[in-house]
Amino acid sequence: MELFRSADYIAIKSKAQNLQKSSSVLEVNKHRLKYFSGIGLGTQGIMSGSLTDLRTTDSSPNNISDLQGEWIAITEHKKRNGSSFLVFSDSYGYAPVFYSLIPGVAVIVLDTFQGVVAGRQQYGTSCTLNVPSYVTTVGGLGGHFANSISEQTMANEIQILHSEATLNVTSSYASLSPRTLISPAASISKPDEAVRVGVRQIISSLSQLASLPASKVLNLSGGVDSRLVLGLLMGASGEAIDTFQVLSSDPRAWKSRASRKIIHRDITIANELVRRFGLKWWEPPKKEKRALSFFESLTMFQSLRSNYSYTFSPSATLLGNKTPVISLRGGGGELLRGTSEATNLTATYKRTAKSNESLEAWYAEERLRKSYLTDNAKKISADLIRNNLAKAEGTTVEEKLNHIYFTGRNRAHFGHTRLSYLQHELPIHVLSSAYLLQASRLIDFGSKKNGALVKNIFCQTREELLDLPFENPTWTNKLSNSNDVVFDENDESWTEAMDRIRDANNSARYAPGWEINARSRYTQYNGPDSSLNYLRAGFRQLEEFVSVPEKGLLREQHRILITAAQAKKVNAFHLVAKLPSALDAFVPSAPKGQAVILSTQTENNSHIRGLPSLTFNTPKVPSDGWNNVVIPELRPTINVTSNGFRIEANALNLPSGMLEFAFYLLKDGERIAIQWYGDNPGSDFSIPVSPGTYQGIAFLREAGTETYLVMTRSKPLVI
The larger pLDDT score, comparing residue 608 to residue 545, is at: 545
Q: How far is CA 487 from the centre of its chain?
A: 36
Position 612 confidence tier, pLDDT thresholds 50, 70, 90: very low
pTM: predicted TM-score of the whole model, two decimal places: 0.85
Report how many helices (DSSP H) and strands (DSSP E) the chain contains, helices first: 22, 30
Residue 666 lies in a domain: yes
pLDDT per residue as tens digits for the range 640-686: 999 999 999 988 877 667 889 999 999 988 889 999 999 999 999 99
Q: How far is CA 123 from the centre of its chain?
A: 29
The CA distance from 318 to 292, in Å, is 7
Q: Which one-letter amino acid corresponds to residue 413?
A: H
Q: Which domain holds residue 293?
A: 186-337+412-506
Position 221 confidence tier, pLDDT thresholds 50, 70, 90: very high
**Domain count of the chain?**
2
pLDDT at 557 > cutoff 70: yes
The larger pLDDT score, comparing residue 223 to residue 52, is at: 223
pLDDT per residue as tens digits for the range 297-320: 888 889 889 999 999 888 888 999
Residue 487 lies in a domain: yes
Q: Which residues contact 217 (CB under 8 A, 6 or more apart)?
A: 244, 245, 246, 247, 282, 325, 326, 327, 328
The CA distance from 401 to 334, in Å, is 13
Position 601 confidence tier, pLDDT thresholds 50, 70, 90: confident
The CA distance from 110 to 303, in Å, is 12
The last residue of a domain, from among 489, 506, 523: 506
The last residue of a domain, from among 490, 506, 522: 506
The CA distance from 368 to 487, in Å, is 42
Q: What is residue 238's DSSP assignment?
A: H
The larger pLDDT score, comparing residue 387 to residue 489, is at: 387
pLDDT, residue 619, reads: 32
Give, rounded to a whole angstrom, the gap between the first and last alpha carbons of the chain: 43
CA torsion, ordered 128, 556, 539, 315, to nearest 10 deg:
-120
Query: Do 501 and 639 have their domain in common?
Result: no
pLDDT, residue 628, reads: 41
The larger pLDDT score, comparing residue 487 to residue 646, is at: 646
Query: Do 432 and 297 have their domain in common?
Result: yes
- Could you tell me if 64 and 86 are in contact, meaning their C-beta atoms sit under 8 angstroms apart? no
As a whole number, mean pLDDT of residues 367-387 equals 95
The CA distance from 410 to 398, in Å, is 16
pLDDT, residue 631, reads: 65
Position 524 confidence tier, pLDDT thresholds 50, 70, 90: low
CA nearest to 575, candidates 623, 527, 630, 635:
527
pLDDT, residue 611, reads: 30
Write the Ramachandran bin of 621: left for phi over 0, alpha for psi from -120 to 50, otherwise beta.
beta
Q: Which one-letter amino acid corresponds to residue 382?
A: A
As a whole number, mean pLDDT of residues 421-439 equals 94
pLDDT, residue 512, reads: 86
Residue 362 lies in a domain: no
As a whole number, mean pLDDT of residues 30-57 equals 84
The last residue of a domain, from among 482, 506, 530: 506
pLDDT, residue 609, reads: 36
Residue 401 lies in a domain: no
As a whole number, mean pLDDT of residues 413-429 equals 89
As a whole number, mean pLDDT of residues 475-492 equals 81
Q: Which residues contact 275 (CB under 8 A, 6 or more apart)?
A: none
Helix (H), strand (E), coil (C) string for 580-633: HHHHCCCCCCCCEEEEEEECCCCCCCCEEECCCCCCCCCCCCCECCCCCCECCE
Residue 289 lies in a domain: yes
Residue 433 lies in a domain: yes
pLDDT at 104 > cutoff 70: yes
Helical ranges in 209-237 per DSSP H: 224-235
Average pLDDT, the chain: 88
Residue 660 lies in a domain: yes
Percent of the chain having pLDDT more than 70?
92
As a whole number, mean pLDDT of residues 494-501 equals 93
Helical ranges in 368-425 per DSSP H: 375-390, 397-407, 409-414, 417-420
Position 622 confidence tier, pLDDT thresholds 50, 70, 90: very low
pLDDT at 623 > cutoff 50: no
| CATH code of 672's domain | 2.60.40.10
- Could you tell me if 83 and 607 are in contact, meaning their C-beta atoms sit under 8 angstroms apart? no
CA nearest to 16, candidates 114, 84, 95, 91:
84
As a whole number, mean pLDDT of residues 363-381 equals 95
pLDDT, residue 522, reads: 59
| CATH code of 314's domain | 3.40.50
Position 2 confidence tier, pLDDT thresholds 50, 70, 90: low
Position 523 confidence tier, pLDDT thresholds 50, 70, 90: low
As a whole number, mean pLDDT of residues 596-623 equals 48
Percent of the chain having pLDDT more than 90?
64
Burial class (CB in 10 A: 0-12, 13-18, 19+), 29: exposed
pLDDT, residue 516, reads: 83
Residue 716 lies in a domain: yes
CA nearest to 156, candidates 586, 509, 478, 687:
586
Count of beta carbons in the 10 Å neighbourhood of residue 58? 8
Helix (H) or strand (E) segment spanning residue 208 = helix 191-208
Query: Do 458 and 323 have their domain in common?
Result: yes
